[in-house]
Amino acid sequence: MSEPIKGNILTPGGWISGSISYGDRVTSIDGDAVDPSANGDDYIIPGFIDLHVHGGGGKDIMEGGDAPQVIAAMHAKHGTTSLLATTMTAPPHEITAALKAIGAACAARRPGAARVLGVHLEGPYINSGKLGAQPNYARAATLAEVLQFGVHAPLRLITVAPEIAGHLRLVREMTDAGIRVQIGHTLGSYEDGVAALEHGAAGFTHLFNAMSGLHHREPGMVGAALAHAQYAELIPDLLHVHPGAIKVALRAIPHLYCVTDSTAATGMPDGDYMLGRHRVQKCMGGVRLPDGTLAGSTLTMDQALRNLVGLGLDLADASRRVSTYAADYLGETERGRLAPGTFADMVVLDRDLNIKAVYIEGEMCDLNDA
């Protein structure tokens, strides 16, 4: 048992001024209800959960090898305590190689690294007319191929374009197989989005980006999300989505949660990096293809939290959107909240919301070079 941590602790029932005791799991939280603005103590909030991570620290998930572990360690320094390693659209043999490396990372977490909960398969089951920064290897899904991919690593989330022939049936089959399916990289209509939700789709991939937009006579996939979604992911780097559009989504989607869509360039200096088969350039805080298309981000989850607070959310609400709602979406009831019995995944913030400490399953991470 480690020494208790003291501060303003965000629990499912609200803020507590006191101490949290823990091993690999929280054992107790002691103290009294508090308005955290009433004192100058540190904030202790649940560790961040990022369901869309392509890279970081110079490494790309599609490289295989030790890339998932290096990426997980880089993001841990910014408060991410668990994540989904996210693949790119590619030929099957390249996806399989990446999945084997992710599977190894899922089986054994390295000290100082975020827990890799599984895979977000972002493609290849997308629309070739809405690739965004995905390489052009889009194709229709088959359940047999999906299940074969799942032999190598746990598939927790799959992005699909529901308008592709056969995909509505596959959405139901994959959902029944226990895989979360979400809509993205799509030219589908509002009606396609509603149909996908009715067949079991549960959310939307990087809302607003790489999907048909909202028009008052053709609501598009964005309209389907705003009208019907309970969950959707959004990239709050303030480049991918205008602050005004973020506020619209916050009002419309009850459990809107944040992802980084981070690339190998995250945590690295300006320059050229790989994103799957694409060479991308980091400059002026963003990552782009040679034609200027945004290609993932350099966002970290601690900055996502600060951006949300900067948009007017209170810290408790912002915390839920970088942690709790993503955990709920995946059915991870022992993460994304601080209560006796949950994993001791914690982030300690100073009053300016800068990270002071990160704990992953009770292990205090080394923040050097963060």
**Helix residue ranges, H only, 39-142:** 67-76, 92-107
Q: What is the rounded CA–CA span in Å between residue 251 and residue 255?
A: 10
Backbone angle region of 325, left / alpha / beta, with phi > 0 → left and psi within -120 to 50 → alpha: alpha
Task: Assess whether 261 carries a catalytic annotation.
Answer: yes
Residue of 67, 69, 48 lying closest to 59 (CA atoms) = 67
CB-CB contact of 46 with 328 (8 Å): no
Residue with structure tokens 């659209």?
89
336: tokens are 């994304």
Phi-psi region of 122 (alpha: psi -120 to 50; beta: other; left: phi over 0): beta
Give 56's strand partners: 59
Distances (CA, A) of 242 to 52, 108, 237: 20, 39, 9
Q: How distant, in Å, are the alpha carbons of 41, 96, 353, 357 from that of 350? A: 8, 42, 5, 9
* Helix (H) or strand (E) run with residue 256 in it: strand 255-258
User: Is the peptide bond prior to 124 cis by the omega test (within 30 degrees of 0)?
Assistant: yes
Catalytic residue among 50, 192, 261, 345: 261
Residues 6+ away with beta carbon under 8 Å from 251: none
Annotated catalytic sites, by residue? 261
